[in-house]
A = this chain, B = another copy of it.
Amino acid sequence: MLREKSLLMIPGPTPIPPQVAAAMTQPMINHRGEAFSALFEEVTEGLKKVFRTGQPVYVFPGAGSGGWEAALVNTLNPGDTVLSVSVGDFGERWFRVATKLGFAVERLQFEPGEAADPERIAEKLAEDREKKIKAVLVQHNETSTGVTNDVRTIARVVREHGALIMVDSVSGLGALPLEMDEWGLDVVLTGAQKALMCPPGLSMIAFSERARAAAETNTMPRFYWDLKAAQNSLLKWQTPYTPAISLLYAMRAALGLLEAETLEGSWARHRLMGEMCRAGVKAMGLTLLARNEATASNSVTAVVSPVDPKRLRKVAREQFGVQLAGGQADLADKIFRIGHLGYVVPGDVLQALAATEMALAQCGYEVQVGRAVAAAQQVWLDAQQS
């Protein structure tokens, strides 16, 4: 078997388009020269269209997780109170980052599989009569549980209170609808290695006017993730320190692919893949971790595993050439996840479902081979009619 060819169906890093991989091989350039400025302008302007914002998008060399720190240290003052809204592992991680950085963190946690309830957020904020809460942190899409939050409604609720609404859209942006300006989001952050079809190593973040105003008077000590330094450099389409040039070449190529598809096209493709995946999963008699299918993610599907998920994933990988993701933290022994975002097409979802079904059979779970794919095919066919 040609084991080198294996379908990567995890929720990031996602497969790299050949055009993007090739783009990285372009020669190095002087990062203080004109060619770099042209590249950086093209990338940051292109990203504004994906963020749906008129605000600048800042691109830092770093992991998407760095955006958690950037969001906090630029807009808050030492000891400020924030509200962490968490529906899974990435919510917990951002909570821990805020704690580590010395902020006072109030919490609103939801069970794995639940989406954040805007009404409960509203209640929590209503209790804060002294307006101590300066910011609310929430995931757009919780990668660990395959649940998408209703960020639009949450933002409305938060803005009524007056706090900044900060959104981690690492596994959302580009795949799922998000309108930074229209929805009134104050901070939106993402990474390169998800729907944006690039290798990991770029952290992208945008700030609303309100958030940028907060950054002006902010006293939190910071260097690497400092917005003001990035802002000053951006006036000349430059960066405060050496940018990750090869990854910016990749991003320029990937943004070109996304522009050709159109952002709405990408959202529709991800919605189709999500629907196909869920139809296939249900056809195998399995249960989604998402309790309400209306909030199930279109970029990653989390499935309650009827067999040992580690064994299932090993069989799917080794025997059937598809790489699935495991669960994180407490969910490690309970679920598996099928990522379907980035450079992934509906045909890949069929292959992933087929491999999952066969791997389940090999693990002793009773399936009728072919059902999952048939169900997903039907969804795809129906989509062609509409």
Contacts and interface: CB of A to CB of B under 8 A. Distances in A.
Interface of A: 8, 10, 12-16, 21-22, 24-25, 27-33, 60-66, 68-69, 97, 100-102, 191, 193, 199-201, 221-226, 240-247, 250, 323, 325-326
Contact of A247 (B33, B223, B246): B246
Assembly of this chain: how many copies?
2
Nearest to A342: B28
A339 to B, nearest CB: 10
Contact of A221 (B61, B63, B101, B245): B101
A32 B11 CA distance: 12
Given A16-B28, A65-B224, A200 B100 contact: no
Looking at chain A's contact residues, is the secondary structure mostly helix, strand, loop, or mixed? loop
Nearest to A66: B224
16 contacts: A12-B242, A13-B28, A16-B27, A21-B25, A25-B25, A28-B193, A28-B199, A61-B66, A63-B241, A69-B224, A97-B223, A100-B226, A199-B247, A201-B201, A201-B245, A244-B247
Contacts of A223: 68-69, 97, 100-101
A105 to B, nearest CB: 13
A10 B33 CA distance: 11
B63 A243 contact: yes
Contacts of A16: 25, 27-28, 246
A14 B28 CA distance: 7
